[in-house]
Chains A and B, each alone.
Chain A
Amino acid sequence: MGATHLPSTEFDGNNLDQDYPAEAVAAGTGAAMVQLLDADGKLRVDQQFSRYAERLNPETLRGFYADMAAIRRFDQEATALQRQGQLALWVPMTGQEAAQIGSGRASKPQDYLFPTYREHGVAYTRNVDLAELLRQFRGVSNGGWDPKETNFHLYTLVLAAQTLHAVGYAMGIQRDQEAALEATAASGGEPAEPAAAVIAYFGDGASSEGDVHESMIFASSFSAPVVFFCQNNQWAISVPSSVQSKVPLSQRAAGYGFPGIRVDGNDILAVHAVTEWALDHARNGNGPVLIEAFTYRVGAHTTADDPTKYRESAEEASWRARDPLERLEKYLRAEGLADEDFFEQVAADGADLAAYVRKTAYDLQAPDIRESFANVYAEAHPLVAEELAWFEQYSAGFADEAESEAGR
């Protein structure tokens, strides 16, 4: 005995401990980040991705702006509807317009997209009726739209579960295409359907879920045509992303053996370019890609959350200076690609959209409870019928609102 210190281990003093200061990770300086349009609306040169941006014509650029403005206006209206008691809950996305519109616009019709529950912007690019999208948040539907029509899957509220669904779907596409190729080769006929890929959306918080780990392993093992699109909006409700990950999230891809790219999530040109590249990579059979869109949730996690309780307003202000709409507006104006009329038209369209959404939201009807019973089995079932009868009797046992008021 009498030892004053423990013997040093063989691991002491070598370079196995990598140094990733949390501040650097949080500030976005821990990894190289693709940026084509800086916060002042100035174009920047990127060896690999500038050529994607150069292909975009002015009309597409104006379309990007109009889409982002529309979805932001919609987001404000839905938040107001929740505050007016018309929605049970709302999940705001303001601040993430570039990440969502940019990636959604990079997808092709044959691609299939799996959202979490905040991808209203992506939904918009996939032609989902935004008023329909409110059905779930009003509590009158379990879904809201037909995913087969839009190739935009239903919102998944179970955190990260959709990443597994997405990889499974991508592996399905892969097998369909192999079968189609064989058939084409055998018959020597027409080429198969256009190659498709899958995007799995998730957030920095979901990245801590085991589902993401499993899905990335499967995707890598089978070279599934899937793009993991992580919107790192810095906050998993009240937990900062610096707690979720000690390394930049994009670097995790290296561990699974596929490319990971961090992109400025508030730069729609960069997001669009990187996503286009990644989807091509996946469609061409080169396997998955992880994109970390470095962005910021300017608002609350949901309408039931109060971000002032866990973060400084100075932080929000610093991110507002990097606003995705402002920088594109500056660029469009500076290059003479859009005039005042255009911006006025965008504002007017936004007001129309808001009025449409407001009116439709009020008109959304609550479904008949009997539908829920009817959807259990394909055919009538005596047990379900019995339960429905019990439920109706039970419900009838309550006094009406009016009755209970009078009884007070």
Chain B
Amino acid sequence: MTLKKFTLPDVGEGLTEAEIVSWKVKAGDTVAINDILCEIETAKSLVELPSPYAGTVHELLVTEGVTIDVGTAIISVSEGALDDASPAMPDLAPAVASASPVEQPLYGTLTEDDGGPGSTDPEAPVMNPLVGSGPKADAVKRRPRRNIPSAPTESVAIPAASAMQDTSTDVAPPAAAVPVDLPSPTVPATQGGPAFIAGTISGLVNRVLAKPPVRKIAKDLGIDLADVVATGLRGEVTREDLVSYQSQRDAELDRADGFWGKTGKPQDQRVERIPVKGVRKATAKAMVESSFSAPHVSIFVDVDASRTMEFVKRLKASRDFEGIRVSPLLILSKAVVWAAARNPSVNASWVDTPDGAEIQVKHFMNLGIAAATPRGLMVPNIKNAQDLSLKELALALNDLATTARAGKTPPADMRGGSLTITNIGALGIDTGTPIINPGEVAIVAFGTIKQKPWVLDGEVIPRWITTLGGSFDHRVVDGDLSARFMADVAAILEEPALLLD
């Protein structure tokens, strides 16, 4: 008598999971080879599974109605007679993988075993759509790489490096030759923590991916591939990306005159048709998704930002901040970080999981700044903004703006944001109702700051006034909380000295 386990096979081509619809046998039943054991439903069809064993059903390992991965053991059969035709089946993990939902407060402390800020990798479990585009993590399961990144790195990077180096250096030590300066890693270096996930081969080579014909076209058109938003499956720049980049560039060039079509021409010849692709498409998709999935509530508050203006002026004059661009946005950013710590659930995500939705409160601030760039609207974020001093934050904002304006924001910078600021004031606008960046629950719109009549102690005097607008996902943030958050932000703008507490 041997106990055999039957694991769920891939009954289609490349299916990864199936649901057990009904069992046709029960423990204790005698089965022969090819007797029907159960009916499963895959993404493609209902399928009956015949028994590969003859014997007695020992145990049904998966209950009806449960969806399981291919390779999961579903039934064990004790074989009565010897049957040398059967293969050895490897033992596999227990069937039902549903995590037990633990009752948790809306926000609290993080579990201790998450070492530092680095190990809280927001990207890993949450695969929300993002503004902008870039390489998408695919859902295909892979065997994990061994935790020894050095060997594969060398073997892959050496040919790449030598290809780039011509013949000038004969034998360079691998460490020196390997271009390991990845564009701003999303995951801050952990001290040998297991969370390190080695990238794919392409990730190790610091080079924009594109097929040779695309490179040729880019060269002919004088386009730097690094400037083009990549929408290819593996993060490569496609021909369409180039075309859309080029048409945008052309459009900008000859927008100046001759805009109106000649009257008398048929109307439909005076309609310009612009295919929606690239960043435009990604933005549209993200906005529609956010707008239709998150019930938005927008609130506004007028603020006397005179002291902020004064503070900015002093910072500009300060020797410490020499050469650093300082703007009211810096104070607002600092204020948002400060206010989020006091009202944590604005810095969160609504995540639909197979076991129901959950709210993930983030104990870190990846502060997104919406930026109009040559490639369209982008929302790069400043990782771990909570750890930055005022000066570091100013530098980070400068960096972010410079990179964005050059159209060189790497996709990693746009991932994993936790709360966003949109600086519509820079465009001379008082306020607006911003749409939340998908994956987040709050966004703050910073209106223009200008002198307005303001009543102070019963007298009308000119002050520097701005309007803060905020949109919140009402599934997560209720009115009182959003109001408190906005009031906190406003308080800092009115009195930046509060930051010192």
Contact = CB atoms under 8 A, between A and B. Distances in A.
A362 B145 contact: no
A82 B11 contact: yes
Interface string A343-369: 000000000000100110010000000
A230 to B, nearest CB: 26
A185 interface: no
Contact of B44 (A85, A306, A358): A306
Interface in A273-310: 302-306, 308-309
A83 B48 contact: yes
Given A398-B144, A404-B144, A306 B46 contact: yes
A397 interface: yes
A308 B46 CA distance: 10
A362 B89 CA distance: 12
A407 interface: yes
Given A82-B11, A83-B50, A358 B151 contact: no
Interface string A306-330: 1011000000000000000000000
Contacts of B52: 84-86
Contacts of A304: 11-13, 44
A393 interface: yes
Chain A CB within 10 Å — which of B6, B12, B84 has the most? B12
Give the interface size bracket for A toward B.
Answer: 20 to 34
Contacts of B145: 397-399
Interface in A230-283: none
Nearest to B51: A84
B146 interface: yes
A309 B45 CA distance: 9
B174 to A, nearest CB: 14
Given A393-B151, A398-B146, A85 B85 contact: no
Interface string B90-109: 10110000000000000000
B143 A404 contact: yes
A362 B90 CA distance: 15
A315 B143 CA distance: 45
B208 to A, nearest CB: 23
Main secondary structure of the interface of B (DSSP, over half): loop
A89 B44 CA distance: 14
B479 interface: no
Contacts of A89: 13
A1 B280 CA distance: 45
A130 to B, nearest CB: 16
A405 interface: yes
B155 A394 contact: yes
B33 A358 contact: yes
Nearest to A395: B143
A149 interface: no
Contacts of B6: 84
A390 B155 contact: yes
A80 interface: yes
B93 A408 contact: yes
Nearest to B154: A393
Contacts of B194: 407
B152 A393 contact: yes
Nearest to A307: B45
A394 B7 CA distance: 28
A309 B46 CA distance: 10
A164 to B, nearest CB: 26
B143 A401 contact: yes
B47 interface: yes
Contacts of A394: 152, 155
Contacts of B33: 80, 358
Nearest to A405: B93
B93 A83 contact: no
Nearest to A386: B159
B173 interface: no
A365 B148 CA distance: 31
B295 interface: no
B123 interface: no
Contacts of A390: 155
B391 to A, nearest CB: 42
A404 to B, nearest CB: 5
A359 B90 CA distance: 19
Q: Closest 7 CB pairs between A and B?
A: A85-B9, A306-B45, A84-B52, A304-B12, A359-B85, A80-B50, A304-B13
Interface of B: 6-13, 33-34, 44-52, 84-87, 90, 92-93, 143-146, 148, 151-152, 155, 194
6 contacts: A85-B7, A89-B13, A303-B12, A304-B13, A362-B85, A403-B146
Given A83-B50, A85-B52, A362-B86, 20 more contacts: A76-B34, A80-B50, A83-B47, A83-B48, A84-B52, A85-B10, A86-B52, A303-B11, A303-B12, A304-B12, A306-B44, A306-B45, A359-B84, A390-B155, A393-B151, A397-B148, A397-B152, A398-B146, A399-B144, A401-B143
